[in-house]
Structure 1
Amino acid sequence: MMTPHINKSVSILTDGVGCARRLNARNVSVLDTGGDRGRGVFSARDFLPGEVVIIGHIERLERIRTTNSIQLNWDVHALFEKPAVIVNHSCDPNLAIVPNRFGAYDFIAIREIYSDVEVTWDYATSEFECIGISVCLCGAANCRGGVLGFSKLPPNHPMVVSRFYAPYLEETLSNFRGK
């Protein structure tokens, strides 16, 4: 009797991280923005609202907050793998974050995104107090001038109303908004 061997293609299909990386490579490209913002992430195809554009993976946890880290909890900051770490901020983003099975965030479309459009998210939706951007360069009509953080978003902000923010912020939302 022969011992069954695991088919290599089956292990590739069940490798969630590898599959997610291939999906990211198919969905987006890292390109120069042509401005002061440096590199950015651009859609490689059209997306409908609710579609996952980028699956986030943690490259490493950070002991302290850095300008490139993404806050996962009050005392937990992580550096995400590319392309997620390169996605630029916008006060009028086309992406929102949602927790994923890898302990990171997925970046989902919150409106229709066409091919070759820069994808952006609002950094204030993961950072209670943001240190990453002192002067905002997003150029959106509703630009706040700086990211400032979740604590400075008004209660009627679309990302707050839609509950597109890091889950750890929910537990204290009423404490900070009630004052």
Structure 2
Amino acid sequence: MTAASSPRALASDLCCGLENLPVPVLNEVDNDCLPPLQYTPENVAGLGEDLDPTEISLPGCECFASSCEQDACTCLQRYLRAYDDNLCLVDFKETGYSRPVFECNIMCKCSEACKNRLVQRGLTFKLQVFKTSKKGWGLRTLEPIGRGRFVCEYGGEVISLPEASRRIRSQNCVDMNFIIAVREHLSNGKILETYVDPTHIGNVGRFLNHSCDPNLYMVPVRVNSLVPRLALFAARNIAAEEELSYDYSGKFKNLQKEATTKERSIGEGRALKSCYCGAQSCTGFLPFDSSLYNLEDKSNVI
């Protein structure tokens, strides 16, 4: 084994003590170090966005029980129970999870042990950031994770659409893009969009790689604010030492169509970035979203 390929423990805790559990960093591939990152366990306010994700804007329940019950809790009556007794997402399905998820929050009278408090508790599984051979840095679990369990959050700066567009336009064709656009379709036909950028301020979710056959699924979860926290749940049982991944396109299975000529020219080649997920269903390329290059026809977005 050469010196360049010797395993190097780069950090005992990426999170600097800000999570329930430390997240070590290991490089068994080369001599690269982690890029600079200001760690934050959850979303923070970024440029251009009017809504502050740290602002308390949701009402609380009056339950004094250790755990809220469906017939007595105003939170559960308003939004229905999201988690079962095993702390798994209720009625989780591979085709998606469309029901809104609202947890009890800081204004609620119930205890911290309430089963309607999950994402807000942070990490409960031992994770590790590691260097991959082809995909840069990645994230894996050091212990088994059951299907439907909460794994981690994709947290960072919550920014506006114009700011997200400005940032992505400033990237060149070799830059990594960490900006995620989450679109929630409302019953009135409007689309609620949230843009999160963990490039410089973020958490462990920043190191998740794409897979066309992922083992995680992203669900917007609201706690204290109307700004959603982007929670990642296990789509199936996950073994210890397995790399964690989700579908960058927002689907559980990547059904991305072939990029158009317009998308290729707008993205300056980004649509042709190769995918190395290794799945049998791999499309060969990473998902590409051209919407941040064209701010026209956004009248139905809020």
Provide the TM-score with structure 2 as the length reference.
0.39
Q: CA deviation at 1:149?
A: 4.9
Report whether the alignment pairs 1:37 with 2:147: no
Q: What's the CA shift string for 1:107-140, capped at 9, x where partnerless?
A: 11111101111000010117x9895772111111
Report whether the alignment pairs 1:135 with 2:274: yes
Report whether the alignment pairs 1:146 with 2:244: no
Instruction: Specify which of 212, 230, 237 is matched with residue 105 of structure 1.
Output: 230
Work out whether residues 141 and 242 of structure 2, in 8 Å CA contact, stay in contact via their aligned partners in 1. Answer: yes
Q: What's the CA shift string for 1:11-37, capped at 9, x where partnerless?
A: xx69x98841xx16x43111112x111
Work out whether residues 156 and 203 of structure 2, in 8 Å CA contact, stay in contact via their aligned partners in 1. Answer: no
Report whether the alignment pairs 1:121 with 2:121: no
Matched residue, 1:166:
none
Q: What's the CA shift string for 1:53-76, capped at 9, x where partnerless?
A: 113333342612541111123764
Matched residue, 1:64:
164
Q: CA deviation at 1:47?
A: 0.7
Matched residue, 2:150:
52
Report whether the alignment pairs 1:95 with 2:216: yes
Structure 1, gaps ≥5 residues long: 1-12, 152-170, 172-179
CA distance in 1, matches of 2:180, 2:285: 17
Work out whether residues 128 and 139 of structure 2, in 8 Å CA contact, stay in contact via their aligned partners in 1. Answer: yes
The number of residues matched between the two structures is 135
CA RMSD across the alignment: 3.3
Larger radius of gyration: 2
Q: Would the alpha carbon gap of residues 39 and 134 (structure 1) be closer, same or farther in structure 2, given more than 3 Å must change?
A: same
Structure 2, gaps ≥5 residues long: 1-111, 169-176, 184-190, 257-262, 291-299
Give the helix-richer structure, 1 or 2. Answer: 1
Provide the TM-score with structure 1 as the length reference.
0.62
Work out whether residues 58 and 104 of structure 1, in 8 Å CA contact, stay in contact via their aligned partners in 2. Answer: no
After superposing on structure 2, the runs of 4+ consecutive aligned residues of structure 1 that deviate more than 6 Å are none
